[in-house]
Amino acid sequence: MKVTIVGVGQTPFNRNCGVSIRELCFEAFKDALEDLNLTPKEIDASIICSAPEYDRQRSPAGLIAEYLGLNPQPTFLAESICSSSSTGVKVAYSFIKSGLHDIVAVIGFQKMSEISSAEVQERMGRGADIQWESPFGPMMPAGYAMCARAHMQKYGTTEEQLAKVKVKSGKYSLLNPKAMYRRAVTLEECLKARVIASPLKMFDCCANADGASCMILASEEKARKITDTPVSVVGIGAASDTQSTTGRANLTGLNCAIEAGKQAYKMAHITPKDVDVAEVHDCFSIAEIMAYENLGFCKPGKGGKLIEESQTYIGGRIPVNIDGGLLSKGHPIGATGGSQIRTIVLQLQGRAGKTQVDGAEVGLVHNIGGVGLYGNVTILKR
């Protein structure tokens, strides 16, 4: 039995959205249901995806299921930090594949504006080992800065190549009405920006955001009655790595992404060359370059050259993050994976507008939690 995605939705990503988490999720849910032959009561289960401690609501799954009219169907909470909503998709896929449920809604959200940036960094830092790592200061920017330094030392990657990742994301965010930062940036602006954690500068880092996303998955049999344009989930990979970066074999790539990619490719019976369009977790510019390599879009050490040659633009060898990515679209932690999947679903349905990749049939989503702690890769097919 095939598992499909029949509907996708997303709120705009922004700071200070001005609404509650239940209203954020309702907006994404409503967007996903649009044009579907489906009512909330026909959804068998819901999976709510969010990282804890950014808002005051404990056990948000119950609150959101109630507000969306999904009671008395079961609801569950999935959490793997920044990869929470792609983890939710894996759980939903398992529910449907096993025959336990036929239609499952996966809703990811985060409202990060209720606390200060310093408080956000402190909470994100606690995603690392709180005894041996986070007390000594390696918050998220520092963790990826170590990866950038290691990559530069081993492969000769340059700050200009890192900056070009942001230049690309800015170009495409202009075309995404749901992106937080809808403006282009120049290479010079990126290189002159203030340093956050050397060599990463301000434009090398994604921004905290408020937002929600929604995906509705269904069995192939049910999908035929819901929509004319279902997208098949053909490959799912998931892996993890050590909580502390001191336990890693190297810092020039993310082993969890490499392993998750291998699993997904094997399950989908494809190779990296078969992927027409991809969304990767560019929380920092170095993360996108490492993703090129970890997913097999180029050889290790050649990621900088790939962006330098514009091979990840539309018209290049493999278009990547042509919705602006996390760097320009924003990163509301629990909603991010769902937003990435939404982008690929729209591409495969031919509904991506000005960023449509001609003839896109196979799409890939790479969603990471923490500094390579959790890795999820999802492959979708038209």
pLDDT of 355 over the 80 cut: yes
pLDDT of 244 over the 90 cut: no
Which residue, chain included where needed, has tokens 């509705």?
Answer: 216
The single residue of 101, 151, 281, 331 carrying the catalytic annotation is 331
The single residue of 17, 49, 82, 205 carrying the catalytic annotation is 82
pLDDT of 277 over the 90 cut: yes
Q: What average pLDDT does the chain have? A: 95
Instruction: Return the percentage of the chain with pLDDT > 90, whole number.
Output: 86
pLDDT of residue 56: 78
pLDDT of 25 over the 90 cut: yes
pLDDT of 148 over the 90 cut: yes
* Cα gap 89→46, rounded to integer Å: 11
pLDDT of residue 39: 96
For the entire predicted model, the pTM comes to: 0.96
Tell me the per-residue pLDDT of 318-327, one tens digit each, with 9 for 90 and over: 999 999 999 9
pLDDT of 183 over the 80 cut: yes
Backbone angles phi and psi of 89, in degrees to 5: -65, -40
pLDDT of 135 over the 80 cut: no
Contacts of 228 (CB under 8 A, 6+ apart): none
The bridge status of strand 75-78 relative to strand 45-49 is parallel
pLDDT of 125 over the 80 cut: no
Q: Work out the average pLDDT over 105-122.
A: 85
Annotation marks residue 151 as catalytic: no
pLDDT of residue 114: 80
pLDDT of residue 99: 96
Contacts of 73 (CB under 8 A, 6+ apart): 43, 44, 45, 46, 65
* Cα gap 120→122, rounded to integer Å: 5
The mean-pLDDT minimum among 10-14, 242-246, 273-277, 341-345 falls in 242-246
- Give me the residues paired with residue 303 across strands: none
The Cα angle at residue 133 between residues 131 and 139, in degrees rounded to 5: 130
pLDDT of 309 over the 90 cut: yes
pLDDT of 121 over the 80 cut: no
Q: Which amino acid is located at 14 in the chain?
A: N
Annotation marks residue 366 as catalytic: no
pLDDT of 280 over the 90 cut: yes
Q: Work out the average pLDDT over 14-34.
A: 96
pLDDT of 57 over the 90 cut: no
Q: Work out the average pLDDT over 63-84.
A: 97
- 140 vs 8, higher pLDDT: 8
pLDDT of residue 262: 98
Domains of the chain: 3-116+209-231 (3.40.47.10), 142-207+235-381 (3.40.47.10)
- 121 vs 37, higher pLDDT: 37
Q: Work out the average pLDDT over 321-334.
A: 97
**Confidence band (pLDDT; 50, 70, 90) for 245?**
confident
Instruction: Return the percentage of the chain with pLDDT > 70, whole number.
Output: 100
pLDDT of residue 54: 79
Chain-centre distance for alpha carbon 238:
14
pLDDT of 129 over the 80 cut: no
